[in-house]
Structure 1
Amino acid sequence: MVKILADSASDLSMNHYNEFDLEMVPLTVHLDEKEYKDNVEIQPKTIYDAMRNGKSPKTSQVSPDTFHNLFTTYAEKNESLVYLAFSSELSGTYQTAKMMLEEVKETYPDAPIQVVDTKCASIGYGLVVLYAAKAAKDGASAEEIVESAQYHAAHMEHIFTVDDLEYLYRGGRVSKTAAFVGTLLKIKPILHVEDGKLIPLEKIRGSKKLFNRMLDLMEKRGTDFTNQRIGISHGDDLERAEELAGMIQERFGVAKEDILIEMVGAVIGAHAGPGTIALFFLNKPHK
């Protein structure tokens, strides 16, 4: 069986890793001058509470050594591994993995290891991993798994909003003026991911209109909602995530069990901040 490797920016819970026997490599979170392995040594809630108290956690990619050691282990055993990586536009993790794979292949040229840039983030990336993991469990080949991952990654929509533009400003994602004006006018931005990058789409005044607008975008861009899993991730705001899930069930007839809700992990949360709500779905039928 082909083994699937993901990193902690997929925001999948340990239940998923256990269910599909996935490998996981953690990115690093820096808080109060200490380093923590995301989802291993620190939980997202800690990061959100710190941010609410005015702290600015930083993040860094998976270390080269981590990849080198892991790839060597698989190469030595000649075991098939497919690493589906967090968007290369948001982290250097994919590039590091590619470099380390090249190094390992100098010793093991035939190592059956592949690295794929999903250009996705959070549960959008997590859903791509789960589709691939299911294919692996059903006995798909490495090539079929890579094909599945590339298809679902290319058609995964990310529509999200942040509660406070200040956090995106700190992370260099929006300008100081935009953050200040937005906060002042209670403007909520809607952003999406395009070719792996965060792109602001529009600004909405007032929270009430926000979810309806997100669902309008979902209706316009998505397809075949009852035959796919819908993902929602939240920055420590389960109540609003469940409210959005309820609206999706009502509007599109999606079953409750087909909506995956997870907390945005510490790495992405450190940039997006508490109160982030993100919605993920496919714009082409699930394969």
Structure 2
Amino acid sequence: MLVKILTDSGCDLPKEIIEEYDIDVLPIVVIKDDKEYLDGVTMEPKTLYDNMRMGQVYKTAQIPPKMFEEKFEECAQKGKNVIYIAFSSGLSSTYQTSVLVRDSLKERYPSMNIDIVDSKSASIGFGLLVHKAAQMAKEGKTKEEILNMLDFYVEHIEHIFTVDDIEYLYRGGRVTRTQAFMGGLLNIKPILDIPRNGTLRPIEKVRGRKKVLARMIELMEERAGHADLKSQVIGINHGDDLDGAMKLKRMIEEKFGCTQFIINMVGCAIGAHSGPGTLSVFFLNKKYEE
């Protein structure tokens, strides 16, 4: 039986990939002035970033249990063989909610065949897991083969990213008011990552955009270890800054000889916290052997 890949909008994959591999995507909730929107459905990233530049503050909420219930029940009724790949449990309660809903439905559908994977990743770092799983599913790989791959990717995916304005991290509770003020005053660009526990972690502070991009390339080389970056699909995303993303792509091409990229705008669910101008790169620190 072919495997169906299900995920949520925190994966930030381009729509053409979603359509090509027939991936089902559940939208995360974005809130503005107490009104709820669905990430990528009733709220597009470009609109969110334009509004944030004008001072609008957004919040996010997990996917409602009812939405999981409806989707899982549909899969169970059709006898689908499903893997749901979830946004990191260290950043959202979406994973935990999906498990609770799936387990409660098993009473009515004991033969339900849904495996749930905590990506411990975000944005296209998370998206690379989904993309690879969807490719394998399309090739007719078994669920066990896909789950083994996902276990590997969860342990070896690297996230390196920076935000253009530290003020957005303050609004999201990641830095103090004083840190945000001093960071803006000194043109500080923080570099952050997501460690193996799936949480957000600031790792360095660099002054100026040019220097932060150069440092991201250095960190990429340090973390790649013995992995062959040239043969990988490299993920890059941006907070409505395509020029910055393309500059980062050219630097990666020149340094490592990479030729395969997935480039996309950061979606509303993550962009609500990271803000306009965010730049990120994602890759594996060890080669995956199929």
The TM-score bracket by the shorter chain reads: over 0.9
The alignment partner of 1:47 has SS state of helix
Aligned-partner Cα distance in 2 for 1:13–1:63: 23
- 1:218 aligns with 220
- 1:112 aligns with 113
Aligned-partner Cα distance in 2 for 1:211–1:92: 32
- 1:261 aligns with 263
- 2:80 aligns with 79
- 2:50 aligns with 49
What is the correspondence of 1:272-287 to structure 2 with a 5 Å cutoff?
Answer: 272-287=274-289
CA contact (8 A) 1:5 1:24 kept: yes
The alignment partner of 1:100 has SS state of helix
Letter in 2 for 1:81: V
What is the correspondence of 1:10-25 to structure 2 with a 5 Å cutoff?
Answer: 10-25=11-26
Point out where structure 1 has 5 or more consecutive residues left out of the alignment.
none
Alpha-carbon deviations, 1:98-142, whole Å to 9, x = none? 000011111112211011000000000001100111111111111
How many residues are matched? Answer: 285
Point out where structure 2 has 5 or more consecutive residues left out of the alignment.
none
Aligned-partner Cα distance in 2 for 1:52–1:286: 40
Q: Report whether the alignment pairs 1:238 with 2:242.
A: yes
Alpha-carbon deviations, 1:243-266, whole Å to 9, x = none? 0000000010112xx011100001
Letter in 2 for 1:203: K
Alpha-carbon deviations, 1:196-234, whole Å to 9, x = none? 111011101121111111001000111211111001110
The alignment partner of 2:107 has SS state of helix
The more displaced of 228-237 and 70-79 is 70-79
Letter in 1 for 2:155: A
Q: TM-score by structure 1 length?
A: 0.97
Letter in 2 for 1:246: R
Instruction: State the 1:236 CA deviation.
Output: 0.3
Give % identity.
Answer: 51
What is the correspondence of 1:125-140 to structure 2 with a 5 Å cutoff?
Answer: 125-140=126-141
Instruction: Give the ranges of 4+ consecutive aligned residues of structure 1 lying more than 3 Å apart after TM superposition.
Output: none
Instruction: State the 1:77 CA deviation.
Output: 2.1
Alpha-carbon deviations, 1:163-204, whole Å to 9, x = none? 111111111111212111111111111000012111011101
The alignment partner of 2:251 has SS state of helix
Aligned-partner Cα distance in 1 for 2:80–2:137: 13
Aligned-partner Cα distance in 2 for 1:279–1:102: 35
Pick from 184, 205, 208 the counterpart of residue 206 of structure 1: 208
The alignment partner of 1:211 has SS state of helix
How well do the aligned residues superpose, as a CA RMSD in angstroms?
A: 0.9
CA contact (8 A) 1:228 1:286 kept: no
CA contact (8 A) 1:163 1:274 kept: yes
